[in-house]
Amino acid sequence: MFSVFLALSLSLLAAIYCWLHQHFRYWERRRQPHIPSTLIVGNVFDLLRYRCCFGEQFEQLYKHEAASGQDYVGIHVLHNHALLLREPALIKRVLVSDFSAFASRFERSDPVGDAMGSLNLFFAQYEIWKEIHNIFSPLFAHGKVKQMYLLLQEVGYKLETHMNALNFDTEHSVIIEVKELCALFTTDVIASLAFGIEANSLANPQAEFRRMCIEVNEPRLKRILHLFTMFFVPEKVKLVRTHLYSTEYEKFMRASIEYAIAERLRSGNQRNDLIDIFITLKRQAANGAKDSVLQQPDFFVAQAAFLLLAGFDTSSSTITFALYELAKHAELQQRLRAELRVALLKSGGALDHDAICNELPYMRMVVDEVLRLYPPTSFLDRRCTAEQGYCLQQPSGGYRIPQGMPVYISVLGLHRDARFWPKPLEFDPERFSTENRKLHTPMSYLPFGAGPRGCIGSLLGLLEVKTGLVHILKNFRVETCSLTLPEMKLDAKTFVLAAEGGTYLRFVQDKIY
């Protein structure tokens, strides 16, 4: 009996091995350029072992010797057959020209069991995404963002107050972990803009809003399992009952939005923020079609929840990386602070929206270079949604991408490719001078994505970053210290790029106005 059981077990194992061997020879059998993969884990073994973050994993594949000279290469993201695009012209076709064939992302949450996680611009599938995009894109248009600047400026002054109250040494300097400082600032910004609420993170780092922002990113086992399913096995989200957020975060968001709307209706104030938009939309929904996305449970909470999650982390990381590079390049920092001083003298010490956007050209160059070297969205993905698939014509080849296959773009790989950026690892804002911008290869710079599913909050994000830098650099000179990483090492456990172990810099009191 045992021998029969052993024989059956060995036969089953042999059958599984043969199936896996054939499955992972998919690209080889189709004679397409590909990167050799490992059974079961495919090409993302380093990511699964926390040896690199998402962005670095796709950058490694982008730079793999098997990918050299190719417009695209076949890869395996776990068991999923996928394509990694490397040629800007081909990337433009997928993201922009032929968007209708790649209208959804590959990852998704359970639209029935996780309304709050699936009803946002990132995870929503095309039809839902289209309606949400049409509703909220006006909120992030230039005119609306300009109106929000005064709210941003208020938080900027609170940042100055917070920093001036720190414990300075006899040389008027203090060492700070910069990411946490910037996260306090951006949390207060998003709370003000999206909720009309003073989160008071700068005044009290243990305040509830800040605590929830930390909680939602905690790498607990359940959360890791759910995120793993959403990104790698999205067809199983219903089986796993995935949730993008924890129960505590969901309760907090519902209570916050209900309070903010009730308080706004009671006061009748207008702040040109997300709550004003919500109130207008709720009134429309009361008289609108029952099948509208506005009628979905948790729709409004879902938008605010994702805006808080996405907004505070990406902007705080960008400000952090900017200060890190400026501390390492004193001459560039001096040039930026000199430009800022001229603008402050001209405006009487308080820069308005137009001054920040139009009178600080070197600030723009610095921020754009930071976004090149450390893009907040370090990779992009799309899923082929065309029923007949999508054919990659010559010179890219004749392979037809089947419906449902994911396509990946390594933004970090593009941004650090010597074909497009000479000496790509050097921090050089001159790449974005007026003259040099004309020389850029189209679609080789994608810090906010591109096409219809590009980030609609890019204008607000850039304004938030510049405002934070203005209120810091007008009062402080930043320098490296003994705790500063000599070379940036990225944290393998974060989705948005961040330094491993934190970013420590010395802040020296040095007012320029």
What pLDDT, in 10s, does the model give residues 322-334?
A: 999 999 999 999 9
Asked if pLDDT for residue 425 goes beyond 90, the answer is yes
The domain spans of the chain are 1-31, 32-509
pLDDT of residue 28: 93
pLDDT band at 397 (very low <50, low <70, confident <90, very high): low
Asked if pLDDT for residue 369 goes beyond 90, the answer is yes
Longest dimension (CA), the chain: 92
Q: Average pLDDT for residues 222-242, to the nearest whole number?
A: 87
**DSSP-assigned states of every residue in 332-375:** HHHHHHHHHHHHHHHHTT---HHHHHHS-HHHHHHHHHHHHHS-
pLDDT of residue 30: 92
Burial classification of residue 249, based on how many CB atoms lie within 10 Å of its CB (0-12 exposed, 13-18 middle, 19 or more buried): buried
- How confident is the prediction for the chain on average, in pLDDT? 90
Asked if pLDDT for residue 51 goes beyond 70, the answer is yes
**β-sheet bridge partners, residue 174:** 507
| Coil/strand/helix, residue 244 | coil
pLDDT digits (tens, 9 = 90+) for 290-341: 667 887 878 888 888 888 877 778 999 999 999 999 999 999 999 999 999 9
**β-sheet bridge partners, residue 478:** 507
pLDDT of residue 249: 87
Q: Which residues contact 21 (CB under 8 A, 6 or more apart)?
A: 39
pLDDT band at 288 (very low <50, low <70, confident <90, very high): low
Strands 80-85, 72-77: pairing is: antiparallel
By C-alpha distance, which of 374, 439, 475, 414 is closest to 88? 414
**DSSP-assigned states of every residue in 404-470:** T-EEEEEHHHHHT-TTTSSSTTS--GGGGSHHHHTTSPTTS--BTB-STTS-TTHHHHHHHHHHHHH
Q: Average pLDDT for residues 117-137, to the nearest whole number?
A: 88
Asked if pLDDT for residue 149 goes beyond 70, the answer is yes
Asked if pLDDT for residue 390 goes beyond 90, the answer is yes
- Alpha-carbon gap, residue 228 to 237, rounded angstroms: 10
**20-24, 425-429, 463-467, 471-475: range with lowest mean pLDDT:** 20-24
**Fold classified for 32-509:** Cytochrome p450 (1.10.630)
The answer to pTM > 0.85 is: yes
Q: Which two tokens stand for residue 93?
A: 């076709």
